[in-house]
Chain A
Amino acid sequence: MRSKHLYFFYTFVLVSIAISPFLGSVELSLSKIFDVSSPEHRIFFDLRIPRLLLCFAAGASLALLGAIYQMLFHNPLAEPYVLGVSTASTLGVFLFEHYLSQYLGTYFQGIAGLISAVLYSLLLITLSKKNLRNPERIILFGMGSNFFLSSVLFLLVSYFQSAIGSGSVRWLFGQVPWLDMQMALIIFGSSAVICTLLLLQSKKIDILSLGDGVAKSMGVDPQTSRRNILILSSFLLGMTSSAIGTVGFVGLVAPHAVRLWLKPNQTRPLFFYSLILGGAFLAFSDAISRSALPPVEFPVGVVTTFLGGPIFLYLLWKR
C-alpha cells in the first residue's frame, strides 16, 4: 500500500519539477529551447533553470527545517520561522539595503542576511545556556523576539517610504529574485550540504524528541546537540530568507502532508520526503505565481498558501 503512494509521490514531484521551468509569463516550447540562438533558449537556461534551482533549494530547506523543529520542540505547529531567525535575517538585509549598499553594493545583501541570522542564533544559543534551558522557553523567546523584530522592521519600512512596496511584501509573502546560474548553484550547493548534515543528525533528533531527561540518559547532551542543530539551521534559514524572504506554509505543512500521505514509520524518510516535497512544491508554486495571470507575478507565499491549503485539508479529510 505504501509503495503505491510512493509511486504517486515521486511522479508528482518529478512532474512538478519538470513542468516548472516551462511556465511563466512567456510560453516556452520544448523545441525552441534547444535552439541556441533563440530568446527562448536564453530564458530557459539563464533565467528559469537558476530560478528552479533556487526555489527547490529554498522549499526543501524550509520543509526539512519544519520537520526538524516539529520534533525538537515537540510541537506539530512549529515551523522554521518560529525562533525568529528569519525575521532577524530580513531585518539585516533591510538595514544593509538602506545604510550600507551604497558602499558595498547589493551583491553582499545575502551575506548581510546570513550574518544577521547567525548573530541572532548565537544570541539564542547563549541565552539557552542560562534562561532558556528547555525547548518550550526557546519557542516563547522566539515568538517574543519575532513580534519585536517585525515591529522594528515595519517601523523602518514605513520610515523609508520608498521601500514600502518591496520590503514588506518580501517579508510577508516572499519574493523570488532572478539570479544568475552561478549564484543559484552556490545557494543550491550550500543548501544541499547543510541539509545533508542535518539529515545525518536524524537519530540525534529522534532522541532529543523524547525529552531532555530521556535524551541525557541515552547519552545525548540536549544543550549541545540543540545548539549544533540551531547553528546549522540558522545558516540554512539565513541563506533562504536572504534570497526569497519569508514564505509561509511550506515548512509547517510539508512534513504533515508527508506524514498523512506516505506514513513513514522512521524519521530519516520523513525528513527526506519532506525535503523533496517542499522543494517540488515551492518550485511549482513559483511557476504558477508567474504564469497564472501574466505579466502579474504573485508573491510566491500567496501561491503556496492558496494551493497548499485546500490540498492539505483534502489530505486531512481523506484520513
Chain B
Amino acid sequence: METLDKNLITAEKLQLAHNGVPVNQMPWDFSIPLGQLTAVVGLNGSGKTTLIQALLGEPVIHRGGVYLGELKTSSHRLDAREISKWISYVPQEHFYPGHLTVFSFLQIASTELSEVEAVLKKMGINELRDKNLNALSSGQRQRAFLARAILQKSRILVLDEPTNHLDPEGKNSFWKTLAQFRKDSNQDIVVSTHDLEYIKKYASYMLALGQGQVQFCGKQSDFFAQACAQKVFGLID
C-alpha cells in the first residue's frame, strides 16, 4: 500500500505551458484534500484542461510540479501504468469506435462481467447495453463514458467539462448520476465545469482559476459565501 500525503493533489510553484505558450506567469500553489468532489472552475483559457494534462503526466509543466499524493507527475518513473492506478479520465473531446456496443465498450475497461452489469445499472444505461455507441444520444454516451471510467477503479475520477454538449435535462441527469455514484462509492472526483448551479448542489471543494492565478481553493460553500464568482467569472451570483 502506498503511503499517501494527507492531500490528494498538491501543486507547488506550478507553471504550466501549452505548446510552448505559458499558461500562467504567477506560479500556482494549492492542495486538494482527500474525499472531495472538487469542481475546477475558470473561464476558457484559464488553464483547466492544461492542469488536467499535468495530472496525467503530460509534458505541460514549465516549472514546479504537481503531486498525486506524494508522487510527482513529472518524474521519470511515472509511466502509464502508474497513472492508471491514480487517474480515471473522461476527456472533453471523445474518440470512440462506433461499432462497439455499450456492453463491449465497457468490457474494454473490465473483463469482470459482474462489475460491468453493476455499473450499467448504476449509470442507468442497462437498457442501452446492446446499442452501438454511435446510436446513443450524447447524454447517454456521456454516461457510458463515465461508466467506463468508473470501471477502472482508480483513485481519482477526473472529468473535463463533461456536460459541455448536453442539454439542460442531460446536465441534470448527469450530475444526479455522478452525485449518487459518489455517495455510494466515496470516490475522489475532480470535475472541471461551468455548471455553477450544480456545483452549488453537489461539489464539496472548489479550485477557481482566473487571470493566470489561483483565485480560490477551498470549501465550495466558502466560494459562494465570499462572492468569488464575480472575480473569477465577472458574474453576479
Contacts and interface: CB of A to CB of B under 8 A. Distances in A.
B215 interface: no
Contacts of A218: 80, 84, 109, 152
A310 interface: no
B93 interface: yes
Given A207-B108, A266-B104, A217 B99 contact: no
B80 A266 contact: no
Contacts of B88: 217
A219 B88 CA distance: 10
Nearest to A205: B97
B96 A209 contact: yes
A227 interface: no
Interface in A256-288: 259, 263-267, 270
Interface in A187-213: 203, 206-207, 209-211, 213
Query: Which of A210, A213, A215, A267 counts the most chain B CB atoms within 10 A?
Result: A213
Interface string A236-274: 000000000000000000000001000111110010000
A60 B94 CA distance: 30
B81 A213 contact: no
B31 interface: no
Interface in B82-101: 83-84, 87-91, 93-97, 99-101
A74 interface: yes
A26 interface: no
Interface residues of A, number: 25
B91 to A, nearest CB: 5
B83 A219 contact: yes
A220 interface: yes
B132 interface: yes
Contacts of A213: 53, 56, 58, 89, 91
B95 A265 contact: no
B83 A265 contact: no
B57 interface: yes
A214 B80 contact: no
Interface in A216-237: 216-222
Contacts of A210: 94-96, 108
A206 B96 CA distance: 9
30 contacts: A203-B108, A206-B97, A206-B108, A209-B95, A209-B97, A210-B96, A211-B93, A213-B53, A214-B90, A214-B91, A217-B80, A217-B83, A217-B88, A218-B109, A218-B152, A219-B80, A219-B81, A219-B83, A221-B79, A221-B80, A222-B80, A259-B99, A265-B100, A265-B101, A265-B103, A265-B130, A265-B132, A266-B100, A266-B104, A267-B99
Interface of A: 71, 74, 203, 206-207, 209-211, 213-222, 259, 263-267, 270
Given A211-B95, A267-B100, 15 more contacts: A74-B95, A206-B100, A209-B97, A210-B96, A214-B95, A217-B83, A217-B89, A217-B154, A218-B80, A218-B84, A220-B80, A259-B99, A265-B99, A265-B104, A270-B99
Interface of B: 53, 56-58, 79-81, 83-84, 87-91, 93-97, 99-101, 103-104, 107-109, 130, 132, 152, 154, 158
